[in-house]
């Protein structure tokens, strides 16, 4: 935060950048006052001293509007400091606000000096433009289809007249492509995940809700990786059953899983090397590494235990669970081990079961070196300097390095992938649409309820709060609940009712790894990205949507050429 003159706050916003506002504080005390402010998500009885307000003066400050702020002031009385006027307020971008404080701790309500801008208007405009394009595209396809039907009817009429003098009719040849045999709802789900990942990784218009949560809670960006891992689990079930039915030996399949995982890990290390100046600080964990390990564990389990033909008699309605009880026992063991380590493992100078970010989050920095609890301690002990180390400003101040795709989070990802595996079991073992839909919805409700119980149905609270940074169990179950629900909707619309082809997401979903690696490599290159001298939400959103659309077009071109690049 910085000091401004009062006239600047009232008359112009030229000095204000994205997610900033003016705050003018009138101090009517006869002594200096210390003003404190901290993001509400980070407040736990202490704040950050922002400015010393001179006696009988008006001080204007630039403040952040990313999160609701908890503000108060401190004044010395009779040789002791006292805090007054604690309040939490949601400031809005480029607005100008005022606050009056006076002796005897009398504080006015925060009042508006200048109206804020509508920072979310670009999102609405972009949505309307995309909706209009979708309507035009759909309308054009309908018109083309009607024209083709009329033309084909005329051709068929002419052909029938010619065939009256012939004795045989040649049967038409039905052509199939690699795409025609795929499950379209699965590719569409995967396309949604990968395009959303590209959008948020490129900045998401610099909107807070398109970025990962500060530590606790859930944003749109927090859903991307779990959804991709979940749908990867579904494809494991589909592919392994197909491979086993063509009599490929299980040992060869395990070796194939190992080879694929090794390639993903290598690609992940290559991507990490872009941010490392030497091997001494090369980051070992990463997104692709997390996917590789979780894929190998779940794919290997399915290869070993999958039953191709099973009959359960009167218990046939539970065959999706009975079919894979060994895998479920192992998953329960993995989740239980992760939970016990998280809550029982001793961490030096930290309480057992600590799940917070450390820093100045709580108890006036008492747990400043406890970032990520046992998970962070394990990563720092095993990987040393080879973990995520980008210096990012946080609302909790300086925190210890930890890795969001570290060892403990990878264990959590295994469970995410396996819930996707189970969704695939439902897809293959039940033949009626209603049977599949009901079971997917039951799993969505079950995982959602368990997650809600664990976090007490709060963004920050409960026995196990929701945290993407640590991939807590409540976070895993919440994301998987949404995944079950989303896939159910896609399956009904695309594969059952066939009222939507899945476009444009289905195209990106056929080459997700290529698009992911490609977008990372070209993230700062033209025409995917360019420098904006005075960025705004609108300009950044336009660029990020263009980047995402460009990769969607590349996915479409690969689709049209029947090109699928797999590992």
Catalytic center residues:
212
How does 303-340 read in b/e, with b if 16+ C-beta sit within 10 Å?
A: beebeeeeeeeeeeeebbeebbeebbebbeebbeebee
Q: Would you say the C-alpha torsion 165, 166, 167, 171 has a positive or negative sign? A: negative
Q: Are 42 and 396 in contact (CB under 8 A)?
A: yes
Q: Minimal CA–CA distance to 555: which of 500, 516, 526, 498?
A: 516
- Contacts by residues 177-180 (CB-CB < 8 Å, ≥ 24 positions apart): 177/562, 178/562, 178/564, 179/510, 179/559, 179/562, 179/564
Residue 299 to residue 319: CA distance in whole angstroms: 20
5 neighbors 96 (Cβ within 8 angstroms): no
Burial class (CB in 10 A: 0-12, 13-18, 19+), 27: buried
Q: Are strands 106-107 and 80-89 parallel, antiparallel or unpaired?
A: unpaired
State the Cα–Cα distance between residues 10 and 388, nearest whole angstrom.
Answer: 42
CB 502 within 8 A of CB 552: no
- Please state, in angstroms and rounded to a whole number, the distance separating the CA atoms of residues 348 and 370: 9
Q: Strand, coil or helix: what is 461?
A: coil
Which residues have C-beta within 8 Å of that of residue 500, sequence separation ≥ 6? 493, 494
Contact, 67 vs 395, CB < 8 A?
yes
Give the pairing type, strands 20-27 and 96-102: parallel
What's phi and psi for 532, nearest 5 deg? -115, 120
């Amino acid at each position: 935060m910085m000091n401004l003159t009062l006239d600047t706050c009232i008359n112009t916003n030229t000095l204000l950048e994205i997610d900033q506002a003016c705050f003018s504080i009138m101090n009517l005390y006869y002594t200096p006052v210390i003003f404190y402010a901290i993001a509400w998500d980070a407040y736990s009885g202490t704040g950050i001293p922002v400015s010393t307000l001179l006696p009988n003066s008006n001080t204007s400050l630039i403040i952040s509007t990313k999160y609701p702020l908890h503000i108060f002031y401190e004044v010395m009385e009779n040789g002791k400091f006292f805090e007054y006027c604690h309040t939490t307020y949601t400031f809005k971008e480029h607005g100008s606000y005022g606050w009056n404080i006076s002796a005897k701790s009398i504080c006015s309500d925060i009042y508006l000096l200048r109206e804020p801008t509508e920072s979310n208007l670009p999102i609405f405009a972009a949505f309307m433009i995309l909706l209009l394009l979708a309507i035009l595209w759909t309308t054009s396809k309908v018109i083309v289809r009607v024209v083709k039907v009329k033309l084909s009817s005329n051709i068929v009429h002419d052909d029938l007249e010619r065939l009256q003098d012939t004795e045989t009719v040649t049967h038409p040849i039905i052509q199939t492509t690699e795409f025609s045999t795929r499950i379209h709802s699965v590719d569409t789900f995967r396309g949604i995940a990968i395009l959303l990942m590209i959008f948020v990784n490129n900045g998401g218009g610099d909107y807070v809700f398109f970025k990962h949560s500060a530590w606790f809670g859930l944003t749109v960006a927090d859903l991307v990786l779990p959804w991709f891992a979940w749908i990867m689990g579904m494809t494991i079930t589909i592919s392994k059953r197909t491979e086993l039915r063509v009599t490929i030996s299980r040992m060869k399949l395990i070796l194939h899983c190992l080879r694929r995982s090794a390639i993903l890990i290598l690609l992940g290390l290559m991507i990490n090397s872009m941010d490392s100046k030497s091997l001494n600080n090369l980051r070992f964990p990463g997104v692709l590494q997390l996917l590789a390990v979780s894929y190998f564990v779940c794919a290997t389990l399915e290869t070993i235990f999958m039953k191709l033909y099973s009959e359960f008699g009167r218990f046939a309605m539970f065959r999706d669970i009975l079919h894979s009880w060994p895998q479920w026992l192992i998953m329960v063991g993995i989740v239980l081990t992760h939970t016990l380590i998280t809550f029982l493992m001793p961490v030096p100078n930290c309480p057992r079961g600590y799940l917070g970010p450390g820093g100045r989050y709580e108890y006036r920095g008492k747990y400043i070196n406890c970032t990520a609890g046992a998970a962070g301690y394990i990563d720092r002990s095993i990987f040393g300097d080879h973990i995520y180390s980008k210096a990012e400003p946080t609302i909790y101040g300086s925190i210890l390095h930890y890795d969001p795709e570290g060892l403990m989070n990878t264990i959590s990802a295994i469970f995410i992938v396996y819930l996707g595996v189970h969704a695939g079991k439902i897809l293959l073992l039940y033949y009626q649409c209603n049977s599949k839909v009901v079971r997917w919805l039951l799993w969505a409700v079950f995982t959602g309820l368990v997650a809600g119980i664990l976090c007490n149905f709060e963004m920050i609270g409960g026995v196990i709060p929701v945290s993407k940074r640590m991939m807590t169990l409540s976070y895993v179950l919440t994301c998987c609940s949404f995944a079950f629900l989303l896939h159910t909707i896609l399956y009904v619309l695309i594969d059952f009712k066939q009222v939507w082809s899945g476009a444009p997401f289905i195209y990106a979903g056929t080459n997700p790894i290529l698009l992911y690696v490609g977008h990372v490599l070209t993230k700062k290159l033209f025409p995917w990205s360019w420098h904006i001298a005075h960025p705004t939400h609108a300009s950044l959103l336009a660029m990020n949507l263009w980047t995402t659309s460009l990769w969607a077009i590349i996915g479409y071109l690969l689709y049209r050429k029947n090109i699928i690049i797999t590992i």
